Amino acid sequence: MPQIAANRLQIEYEIFGDATAPAILLIMGLGAQLGRWNIELCQALVERGFRVIRFDNRDCGLSSKLDNVGLPDVGRALRTGAPIEVAYTLADMADDSVGLLDALGIERAHIVGASMGGAIAQLVAARYPRRTLSLTCIMSTSSHPDLPPPTPEAARALFAPLPAERDKESLVEDALRRQLAVASPAFPSCPRRLRDVIVEEHERGFYPRGVTRQLAAFLASGDRRPLLATIAAPTLVLHGADDPLIPVECGQDIAAHIPGAELRVIDGMAHDFPLALTDVFADAIAGVARRGTR
């Protein structure tokens, strides 16, 4: 996969589809590498007439790492309520996304974000309206403080420390446990495929320091409701009815604060991308994208 200079960083990316087709930019969530936008979904979007771009966010995968900016004490902030000192913000990560479009010579794109990537996508749509043809937020939130928190099990999956043993097998098993804690109950993943995905991610770019910095940026991002009210692009909010990490009320809140947003809640879906829902995701994204293109 190639790298390109964007927003003073090196961004690892991959493109599928015809160079003349409308572009869809896929923004992934916390600590998740570009492969979490599974190849089946990318191909399904290409088949529906789009050019698809997926990439590693800063501090993740094969994109630039920011060790020179230090490591925030997220644990202390969560225990004490003290402000988190961040190395960068979600707005900076939104600038990375637009910088990637600039570097690729793409003037306007359909913006799709998942989880933390959905929050970044909101910022792109609000701060760069002329670059945004449509917006799709998947399993994301407005970060309003009154919204429901994760379930205790999901919170443990997110915030639990890494295992004491840092060998590859222990870390892979730990990542599997975390993923299964937020997996869709009605659409279970193939165990072998899920393990292969996690092993590949570990070998490609295991980097927990970057996850900590990204998490700090997300936790410090603040309420985006005022920004959501300014978004004019056609918007779709996709959310799982059974999401334990970012409860469905969070998706409902996004849709309630973006003028004209469409909300689609999927029964049996939690906080992942089940292969069984590939066509559901692709049809939904393509539908709002076609509205944006018109």
Q: Is residue 78 predicted with pLDDT exceeding 80?
A: no
Q: Is residue 45 predicted with pLDDT exceeding 90?
A: yes
pLDDT score of 158: 86
Q: Is residue 172 predicted with pLDDT exceeding 90?
A: yes
User: Taking the CB of residue 107, how many other CB atoms lie within 10 A of it?
Assistant: 10
Mean pLDDT on 49-55: 98
Q: Which residues of 177-197 are buried (b: 16+ CB within 10 A; e: fewer)?
A: ebbebbbbeebebeeeebbeb
Domains and CATH numbers, the chain: 3-148+207-293 (3.40.50.1820)
Mean pLDDT on 264-268: 98
The CA-based angle 234-23-19, given to 5 degrees, is 155
Mean pLDDT on 74-85: 82
DSSP-derived letter for residue 129 is G
CA distance 40 to 239: 19
